[in-house]
Amino acid sequence: SILAHALGPSRPPSASASAAARRATALRAAEPAEELDRMFFDRAELFVRSGAGGVGAVSMNGQRPVGGNGGAGGDVVLLCDGSLNTLGHLRGRASVRGDRGDDARGKESGRSAREAIVRVPPNCRVSELESGDAVGELREPGERLLIAAGGQGGEGNGDGYRRTRDSRRNYPPGGSTRARLLLSMTLVADVGLIGHPNAGKSTLLRAATRARPKVADYPFTTLVPNLGVCEGGGGAMLWLDIPGLLEGAHEGRGLGRAFLRHVERCRLLLHLVDGESAEPAAEYLAINRELQLYSPRLAATPQVVLVSKAELPHVAERINETVAAIRAVAPHGRILPFSAHSGLNVQQ
C-alpha cells in the first residue's frame, strides 16, 4: 500500500449543528491559547516538596549515649499508571508534599515517612517549570521517577557514640527538597492525521479504524485528539487524528502547539487536503509551513498527501487538476485521492 511505501518498509448542517460549529469556531479561535489548554488535559503544573527528616534524640543510659535517630522524610515519586490517559486528575492540584519523618524519642528512633506518589499516564515528560530543563520521562506502566528526595533523619547521640572517637559528631536532620515542575504527555502513534479543519481526518479515521470520533459538516468538529487501530497486511498501526490546524498554530493559535506535540513522534503523517478547496496547493503549503516553524524535525517526517471527498461529483471532475497542483509543490509523489464514504483508495 502507499502507506507502507511511505513508511519505508454531504449533507447541509442542521440548525443545532450550525450552532455547535459557531461555538467550536469561537472556542478554537479565542486567545490566549493557555485558557483553551484547560480542556485538553495533556499538561499540568505541579509544585512538589519532600518531607524533612526527623530530629535525633539526646539520651543517656548512665554514662553511655543512647539517643535514637530521627526518621527519614518522605520522597515524592511519579508512578506511571497504564489506566490513565490524561493529566486531568492533576488539574487544580497545586502541590504535593511529602510527610516529615518522626522525631526520635529517647533511645527509640523515629519512624520514616511514607513516600508521596503521584500517578501519571504513559509517555509523560517532566521538566522544570522555569528553566525548561528535562527531569525525566515515564513511558511504560510501572516506571517510577524520584522527583524530590526526602531529608535524611537527624542522628541521635547514640549513633555518634557507636562510631570511632575521632568521628563522633551528631548530624542534623536533612531539610525538604522543593521543585516546580511541568508535566506534559504525548500520545504515541505510528501515523498522524494532519490538515486544515474539515479536511476529512475524522471521517478517514472512522473508515479505516474502529475509532468513532465526532464527524460533522463544519470546521472544528474535533477538539481533542482521537486514536484508532488500523489492521493491515503489515500488522496493526496506531492512528492519531488531531484537530485541524490554523495559521499560526506553531505560535499556539487554536491550541496548535498542544496538538502538534502529539504528532512529533509519529513515523508517518497523512496530510489531508480538502478536495473542495479552491487552492489545494496553498493549503498544503500552509500546513507544512506550520510544521517547519514548530519543529524542523516534525516537518521532515515522511508524508502521504490524501485528497478527500473524491466521491463528490464536482470534486471528481477536477481531481486530476487538484492532484497535479499539489504534485507541483510537493517534494514527493505520494499523493492519492480518496473517499471515506465510497471506500475509494481507503485500503491503499
Whole-number pLDDT of residue 161:
58
From the list 184, 172, 170, 222, the residue with the least C-alpha distance to 201 is 222
Cα separation, 300 vs 287, whole angstroms = 13
Q: Whole-angstrom Cα distance, residue 346 to residue 342?
A: 9
Residue type for position 76: V
> For 7-27, how does the pLDDT look when each residue is reduced to its tens digit (9 = 90+)?
565 344 444 444 444 444 444
Distances (CA, A) of 254 to 43, 201, 220: 16, 17, 10
The Cβ of residue 142 has, within 10 Å, a number of other Cβ atoms equal to: 10
Overall average pLDDT of the 34-49 stretch: 70
Backbone conformation region of residue 102, classed left if phi is above 0, alpha if psi is from -120 to 50, else beta: beta
How far, in Å, are 68, 73, 339 from residue 171 at the CA level?
12, 15, 73
**Out of 41-50, 55-64, 168-177, least confident range:** 168-177
Torsion sign, CA atoms 252, 255, 261, 267:
negative
Q: Which residues on adjacent β-strands are paired with residue 178? A: 49
Residue 214 or 136, more confident = 136
Instruction: Return the amino acid letter for 347.
Output: Q
What pLDDT sits at residue 18? 47
List phi, psi (to 5°) of 283.
Answer: -65, -40
Lowest mean pLDDT among 27-31, 184-188, 260-264: 27-31
Give the predicted TM-score (pTM) of the model.
0.60
Which strands make up the sheet holding 268-273, listed edge to edge? 226-232, 235-241, 191-195, 268-273, 303-307, 335-337
Instruction: Label residues 196-224 b or e (16+ Cβ within 10 Å = b).
Output: bbbbbbbbbbbbbbebebeebebbbbbeb
The burial class, CB within 10 Å (0-12 / 13-18 / 19+), for 150 is buried
Question: Mean pLDDT, to the nearest integer, of 135-160?
Answer: 91
Asked if residue 192 has pLDDT above 50, the reply is: yes
Best mean pLDDT range from 87-96, 233-242, 255-264: 87-96
Instruction: Give DSSP secondary structure letters for 113-179.
Output: PPPEEEEE-SSEEEEETTT--EEEEE-STT-EEEEEPPPPPPPPHHHHHTS-GGG--PPPPP---EE
Partners of 303 in beta bridges? 269
List pLDDT tens digits, range 291-303: 999 899 999 999 9
256 closest CA partner among 196, 301, 203: 196
Q: Tell me: pLDDT of 64 over 60.
A: yes
In angstroms, how far is the first alpha carbon of the chain from the final one?
5
